[in-house]
Amino acid sequence: MAFFKQKLKKIWLIHGYYLNLQRNNTRNNSKNILNLKQNIMKKSFIFGAALMLAGAFGFQSCSQESNPGVPTEAAIDNGTELAAAITGFAKDGVLTLPKNVVELNVAADIDLSQVEIKNASPLTLNVAKGVKLTVAKNLNNISINGDAEGPATIEAKETVAISGTEEAPIGIANANFIIANNFTLENAIIDASKVSDPFIALTSEPTVAFLPKSDGTGDTDYYGISNILLKNVTLTGVKNSIIYDNDKKYCVVDLTIDDCVIGLATEATMNQAIISFKQGGVKDFAMKNSTVYQTAEAENNYFLRYNNSARLDRYGFDKNTETQSINFLNNTFYNVNKNGQWGNYGGIAGQAYSEFHVVGNIWVDCGNGQISRRLLGGRNASSYKTCEFNNNTYWFNGAAETGNTNYDAGTQLATDPAFKDAANADFTPTGADQVSNKTGDPRWFAAE
């Protein structure tokens, strides 16, 4: 009705202006001109009436049947079932939502692999107990709220990015991911406290191709995924592994965790590792500008673990020209793997192509007081062509680690970082050395 009234107002404004114009121009004209004006007025009235009728019919034509790609606000409302919205209004594989729609329900398993959701406003999907969402297209500014008694599973069949913005991060609660290809999770706040499965698991039924051998003689037996990225993600309540290869021979070429805060509440991890590759491994691993902590006592044997056969040449790369790297840059770790090992990847230990870049990190009560040794696979720094260590803090049971200079040959900050309130997850360093060198996760200095 509002649309109709606007049409009507516009028509009468135009019509009134036209009459005034005609009145001014014909005030002193002859009777013939007056008759002409009257004829024009009649025609104008008829034309206006026609426009009003067309407007009314145009308003009525914005219906599900005639224009399914552009639903009205009345057609899709908050709380509508996503499946019904797609069936009724998706057009050419795109569901365009009205701006007022900020919440849809998902009552049963749904395959979104052929559908792109275009939401003008941030959208929340309320997912029923144990439901699986299958996606193959990006989800932008779409939060996912699973059921606490039966968390949702988001299965990414193709290369997929799920992201909010820095100003408006998406929220994900009670959900885990199964991925089949390249994957990005960015600008998100996630509560995984009701999820007992690995937070991100690679599919147990690989669909990606094997990586080719560097000499061109065929393929390796490693399934290749180019990249997995977690960026600006706050993830809390993690009960299992953060990433798990599902006991399949995957090589992730580039795995990066950047600008993240991860709170662990581990009860059991796959293959006893927080980042767990039971059959496969990673070519280039990087963790930077991030914080990982565990406030409750828990035992995990490893932080980062590859299968011992997983190494550069077996992935199909030329070991004479390529490198395999492990990078920890400006991170803060607290009470993680306290009595376990930080790294376990015997296949790359001592290899000339292996590179290590470990700079500006703070470890407190982690890795059984042997961080640098386990990072290097038990080999001295001199075993590697590139082995960069500098300005790291290794603080364990109230004292600095000792006897580790064969592994970390750079400058070590052998003093207590004195976190402001670690028990309540405030890891702002107050130790003079850490403050002056701005080590650890930069977010803890952001308030200065």
Tokens 């028990």 belong to 423
| CA distances for 276 relative to 243, 249, 300, 309, 392, angstroms | 6, 12, 11, 14, 24
- Residue 427: inside a domain, yes or no? yes
According to the model, what pLDDT value does residue 448 have? 61
Q: Which of the listed residues 61, 76, 104 is the one where a domain comes to its end?
A: 61
Residue 203 sits in the same domain as residue 55? no
Radius of gyration of the chain (CA): 31
- Residue 66: inside a domain, yes or no? no
**Do 209 and 236 meet the contact criterion of CB atoms below 8 Å apart?**
no
* Interval 22-33 mean pLDDT: 39
| CA distances for 34 relative to 22, 29, 31, 47, 332, angstroms | 10, 7, 5, 20, 88
Nearest to 244 by CA among 217, 273, 218, 267: 273
pTM across the whole model: 0.84
Q: What would the pLDDT profile of 210-239 be if each residue is shown by its tens digit?
A: 999 999 999 999 999 999 999 999 999 999
DSSP for 151-174, written as a single string: -EEEEE-SSEEEE--SSS-EEEES
Residue 377 sits in the same domain as residue 231? yes
Question: At residue 58, does pLDDT exceed 50?
Answer: no
Q: What would the pLDDT profile of 74-113 be if each residue is shown by its tens digit?
A: 589 999 999 999 999 999 999 999 999 999 999 999 999 9
**Do 199 and 238 meet the contact criterion of CB atoms below 8 Å apart?**
yes
CA 240 to chain CA centroid, nearest Å: 18
Q: For the chain, give the number of residues.
A: 448
- Residue 358: inside a domain, yes or no? yes
Q: Which of the listed residues 28, 45, 61 is the one where a domain comes to its end?
A: 61
138 falls in which pLDDT band (50, 70, 90)? very high
**φ/ψ (deg, to 5) at 104:** -130, 155
* Interval 341-366 mean pLDDT: 96
Under 8 Å CB-to-CB from 10, ≥6 apart: which residues? none
**Do 157 and 134 meet the contact criterion of CB atoms below 8 Å apart?**
yes
298 falls in which pLDDT band (50, 70, 90)? confident
**φ/ψ (deg, to 5) at 61:** -75, -10
Q: Which of the listed residues 36, 61, 86 is the one where a domain comes to its end?
A: 61
Return the minimum-mean-pLDDT range out of 55-59, 239-243, 374-378.
Answer: 55-59
Rounded distance between C-alpha atoms, residue 396 and residue 40, angstroms: 94
According to the model, what pLDDT value does residue 296 have? 75
- pLDDT averaged over every residue in the chain: 87
| CA distances for 182 relative to 117, 197, 237, 383, angstroms | 20, 20, 25, 33
Tokens 């007056």 belong to 34
According to the model, what pLDDT value does residue 329 have? 98
Under 8 Å CB-to-CB from 28, ≥6 apart: which residues? none
Q: Give me the domain span that covers residue 57.
A: 2-61
Burial category of 424 from C-beta neighbours within 10 Å (exposed 0-12, middle 13-18, buried 19 and up): exposed
397 falls in which pLDDT band (50, 70, 90)? very high
* Interval 232-254 mean pLDDT: 97
- Residue 178: inside a domain, yes or no? no
**Do 341 and 373 meet the contact criterion of CB atoms below 8 Å apart?**
no
72 falls in which pLDDT band (50, 70, 90)? low
Rounded distance between C-alpha atoms, residue 8 and residue 11, angstroms: 5
Question: At residue 378, does pLDDT exceed 60?
Answer: yes
Question: At residue 143, does pLDDT exceed 80?
Answer: yes
Total domain count, the chain: 2
4 falls in which pLDDT band (50, 70, 90)? very low
Q: What would the pLDDT profile of 414-437 be if each residue is shown by its tens digit?
A: 999 999 999 999 999 999 999 999
**Do 325 and 355 meet the contact criterion of CB atoms below 8 Å apart?**
yes
Return the minimum-mean-pLDDT range out of 42-51, 102-111, 401-410, 435-444.
Answer: 42-51
For 264, the token pair is 């662990």
According to the model, what pLDDT value does residue 5 have? 36
Q: What would the pLDDT profile of 166-176 be if each residue is shown by its tens digit?
A: 999 999 999 99
- Residue 177: inside a domain, yes or no? no
According to the model, what pLDDT value does residue 71 have? 55
Specify the amino acid at residue 171: G
Counting residues of the chain whose pLDDT is more than 90, the rounded percentage is 81
Tokens 């015997």 belong to 346
DSSP for 13-82, written as a single string: HHHHHHHHHHHHHTTT--HHHHHHHHHHHHHHHHHHHHHHHHHHHHHHH-STTT-TTS--TTTS-TT-BH
Residue 228: its H or E element = strand 219-238
Under 8 Å CB-to-CB from 214, ≥6 apart: which residues? 313, 316, 317, 318, 322
Return the minimum-mean-pLDDT range out of 27-31, 152-156, 190-194, 274-278.
Answer: 27-31
CA 404 to chain CA centroid, nearest Å: 37
- Residue 96: inside a domain, yes or no? no
- Residue 48: inside a domain, yes or no? yes
- Residue 72: inside a domain, yes or no? no
* Interval 172-198 mean pLDDT: 97
